[in-house]
Structure 1
Amino acid sequence: MTNLFLPLIADVTGDVNNPVNFTFFIGCMAMMAASAFFFLSLNQFDKKWRTSVLVSGLITFIAAVHYWYMRDAAMAGSLDNVTAFRYVDWILTVPLMCVEFYLILKVAGATKSLMWKMIILSIVMLVTGYFGESGIGPFDAQIWGLISGIAYALIALEIWVGGASKLAKAAGEDTAYAHKVLCWFVLVGWAIYPIGYMAGTDGWYNVLGLDGLDMNVWYNIADAINKIGFGLVVYSLAVKKTA
């Protein structure tokens, strides 16, 4: 792997019209704009909801910084660096997205054990996914992907039919609705990531014809939808609860 710490403005010569490079650029700008929006809106909310909106801003801000570096790395042809930066981004932001569930359900009695359960599952999901993409460890991409998929499924089960779902029903109509929308983001939006994983690794799923797709385009689209979308749902709930 080449030097992970690229200069903030790299000497790149890649084609900005390339779908990968273009989606990195759009993703970076979208995340920056979302971060500014969330941070600048903090003072309009009751104190108990500011943390939720702040976390939304942190998620998109962390992603924006990493997208800046990933864009430069992609245009310079350093795809190993792109993968490394992406998983550093995810290992920071995905657990924070799990924290959002805890924060909005805290009013209904959500405990930190629920939060840590989801955080640990998300870390397992990401670490095994990274091992699969990078060819690390004793297993091939199929096995690592299976382990990652199981962790993802457990998160989905927890929020759809587990303890988080029960808390959402007891938290009131607005919170229950926001929780359900976030659940759909996890079920549908997060499902884009396995498609990208299968497009970028070898396994039985090659028969699906996904190997002709560029996984970075899939990942970039999914990140923009999920991270900004998550934040907007939390923002909307905070507005309703503050009004």
Structure 2
Amino acid sequence: MQAAGELGVEGEGVWLALGTVLMLLGMVYFIAQGWGVQDPRQKEFYIITILIPGIAAASYLSMFFGFGLTEVPLTNGRVVDVYWARYADWLFTTPLLLLDIGLLAGASNRDIGALVGLDAFMIVTGLAATLMKVPIARYAFWTISTIAMLFLLYFLFVVFSEAASDLDEDSKSTFNVLRNLILVTWALYPIVWLVGTEGVAAVGLFTETLLFMVLDVTAKVGFGFILLRSRAIVGEESAPTPSSEEAAAD
């Protein structure tokens, strides 16, 4: 077991270092892609999307150096290593992801705000599940957090999809891909928690950290890559307007 505050250069530290590098590469790539963008709406997407892997990179780097790691002694005698910095990361990055897809869908500020509030509740109750010392309390808060996640994903699928129904084909296609990416990756997080060291400990900290890293990179860098390379975003300035098409036809 790695002691809290110990430099994670072995074991799970490999995955924390890799996660840091991949998040930084994603952030730098998004900055390079957005360099010189003038359109205000495009700038908004780039700023939000750049912040997501940037925050995650800081979180992964802090975990690699042992900050954001604590030990939780359970009442059954087991001691659990908990990376609470991961939850701090999610508390900032997941609302930004929802803001990105909400803006793409054209959802109302009220609906985006409701989903962000539900998301914050999901993360906070998930953190509570992780820090509880009584096993039954851990699973109780895990259940509450998972139920909140199911409501969130349902809201995303129904309400945001309805808002996106009026989009052009490129934007609608991008929205559908990103929505499905969120649905799949986010649904896997509570499963990894449950089978990992914070749950039933079916897998060790090494494997758990690997799984969370893969999910984080996919849900953040993968999300941004799809969004910022889509014609729904990068093609707006160059795409012809109906009036210009009519003029060309004339």
Normalising by structure 1, what TM-score?
0.82
Amino acid at match of 1:236: R
Structure 2 CA distance for aligned equivalents of residues 113 and 36 of structure 1: 32
**C-alpha deviation, 1:101, in angstroms:** 1.7
Cα distance per residue 1:97-152 (max 9 Å; x no partner)? 1111222123xxx2110111110111111011100011179961221111111111
| Aligned twin of 2:128 | 131
**C-alpha deviation, 1:45, in angstroms:** 5.8
Q: Equivalent residue of 2:83, what SS?
A: helix
Amino-acid identity (%): 23
Residue 213 (structure 2) aligned to one of 193, 200, 220:
220
| Aligned twin of 2:111 | 114
Is the 8 Å Cα contact of residues 69 and 85 (structure 2) preserved in structure 1?
Answer: no
Aligned: 1:159 with 2:156: yes
| Aligned twin of 1:95 | 95
Q: 5+ residue gaps in structure 2? A: 73-80, 239-250
Aligned: 1:242 with 2:237: yes
Larger radius of gyration: 2
Is the 8 Å Cα contact of residues 73 and 82 (structure 1) preserved in structure 2?
Answer: no
**C-alpha deviation, 1:224, in angstroms:** 0.7
| Aligned twin of 2:177 | 181
Is the 8 Å Cα contact of residues 63 and 69 (structure 2) preserved in structure 1?
Answer: no
Structure 1 CA distance for aligned equivalents of residues 226 and 120 of structure 2: 23
Amino acid at match of 1:173: E
Is the 8 Å Cα contact of residues 20 and 57 (structure 2) preserved in structure 1?
Answer: yes
Amino acid at match of 1:242: E
Paired positions, count: 221
Structure 2 CA distance for aligned equivalents of residues 98 and 219 of structure 1: 19
| Aligned twin of 2:64 | 71
CA RMSD of aligned residues (A): 2.6
